[in-house]
Structure 1
Amino acid sequence: MIYRKQKKKLAGRYSMTIAEQSKNSSSPPTQKKLSRSWIRKLAPSLLLACLFGTYLDLYFEGKDYYSFPMRPFPDIFSIHIGFTLVGIPVMVAAFLFICTRLTTQKRVAFILLLSIMMSVFEKLAESFGYFVHAEVWKHYNSFFGYFVFLTIIYQFYTWTNSD
Structure 2
Amino acid sequence: SPPNLYKGIIWSKQPNLAYLGMQSLVFQFTMFDVQASFVRDVILGQIKLPDLESREQNIAEWIDLEKTLKPGDGESEFYYQINYMRDLLTQCHAPPQFDVNKVIAGVKELVQHKQENVFTYRDHSFVSIVTGSRALSINPSLPWLQNMADSVEEFLNQSLRKRQL
- Which structure is higher in RCO with an 8 Å CA cutoff and minimum separation 6? 1
TM-score of the pair, normalised by structure 2? 0.31
Higher helix share: 1
TM-score of the pair, normalised by structure 1? 0.32
